[in-house]
A and B are shown apart, each in its own frame.
Chain A
Amino acid sequence: MKQSPINLAVGALLLLIFVLLLFVFQVRTTETAVVTTFGRVSGLAGPGPHFRWPWPAQSVHKFDKRVHNFESKFEQVLTSDGNNLLISVYVGWNISDATAFLTRFNGDTRKAEASLEGLIRNAYSGVVGRRTFSNFISTDEKELKFVEIEQEMQTRIQTDCRALTNGLNIAFLGIKRLGLPESVTKLVFERMESEREVLVSQIKGDGERQASELKSRADYESAKLLAEADAQATKTLGEGEKIAARSFETFKQEPDLAIFLLKLKALEQFLQNRTTLILDDSTAPLDLLKSQNAGKK
């Protein structure tokens, strides 16, 4: 029986796999690798497959080069104007120099973050300590330096990293929390409460003032309308009187008659109804009665 070609192929394949496993390593796109030959750094490897001499000649140290999130502790810092401020920042860091990272931290991420914590603390005193409280918290846009402070801290930590050649890059830094010491929060509450009281009385006074303003304006408007109406009525009446005055010309012909007629009219209207008349019997036409009586006697 002859040697099967399939058997040979399978054997060759297995051998190849074995050799590849020994001589080739691959670096994921999210990683970076340092190759050491007999313990000394001999090269860097980017993503993809690479050749190596098998252990113990060469060894490969792979590091995650993605941006890591590190959050500093909530720490108390004294601002330049003497206020105590609690601050915590988050830092996005990644490995920019794998060799330096390996030599400085032995490739240990935790060690790197511990070192970062120290650098952040330095930045607190160096950057935050030179700022006033109102640079963090203020309604005045000019006073507020929130973004600048973050930028300064980032630049400072980045500079420190470069000086230390620890292979770390600071991708970004932001303030995560700001707070006040516990005892101060109590004082803030007291102040806020008194501010609320002031506000309540302000609102009350404000409401009363506005309401009375509205009311008095309404009264004024109404009075004005009435006065205008009165003026107009008087004017109208005046016009009427002016027309009436023209009749004088007519009455002037015989004033006695005019007066007599007007008197009659007035009398008639004046005594129109619900009148009680008490008359002397000498009044006309009752005088007629009297003379009749006299006649009978």
Chain B
Amino acid sequence: MLLQAKHLKKYFQIQQGLFSRHLQVFAVDDVSFNIKKGETLGLVGESGCGKSTTVRLILRLLEPTGGSVFFDEQDILAMNYKRLNQMRARMQMVFQDPFGSLNPRMNIGSIIAEPLAIHKIAMGKEKAEKVSHLLEMVGLSPTCQNRYPHEFSGGQRQRIGIARALATSPELLVLDEPVSSLDVSVAAQIINLLMDLQEQFQLSYLFISHDLRMVKQLSHKIAVMYLGRIVELCPVDRLYSNPLHPYTRALLSAIPSLDPLINKTRLILKGDVPSPINPPPGCSFHPRCPQVKPECREIEPELIESFDGHSVACHCRG
């Protein structure tokens, strides 16, 4: 097992009003999952459900309120900063916004060389060669090293971000909506690039998206998040053929179809996502659930794994 996240929690404290009423935002609440070597876990859910917070907890860019993260059997959260920074060579991240995640005042060569220098992987001439090699690997010309981020398009910048993440030859790559700000054809190119790289280097991915079609392309397993919790976690084909959680069903029914003759019945959910400041008691999905039962309003369903590796947190399961 390469990565294990156990009962991760992140509550943000916020102050409201003049006499500071302390409130908590339950951004991530009891999230657990595993990723094996060479495997991709897709994390899907709508905006604000805690996907990005979850990956930041795993990389310890945010300190969790509770829970634990094991990378290659080592406890990430127990490490001191020196040890953690060394560990970061093995787990890298590609960011959502290709415009903001590259320092506008550094040229491409030094952006990609930065991780090489920090982890003392390559120096001098060897470093320059490695940078050229990385640029070629992601399909960019090695001659563009002296150019600055603003001279590149969104898709090219995302490739630069991927090259930077690959520089330390990581085992785990966390992809935080890497294609959501790109148009469809460019996004498809990036997805293909990621698939090639995975095959070549046996990379493990934690892939975040809100686009279920993209996730299907790339993932082996999928976790569906709703309001800071995982509601369903299973192998990709099972999720698409036999979704068990009502929220997953509603999400899948929202995928637009290419064939206009297929008459899909869309499950349209009522209302909005409740506020994570004051989540509803019981199952957090119950105010919008079409199959709500009395116990849903009181008892929080646990994520229970069935014999075929299909986990779901719902009282109506089965």
Specify whether A and B are partners.
no
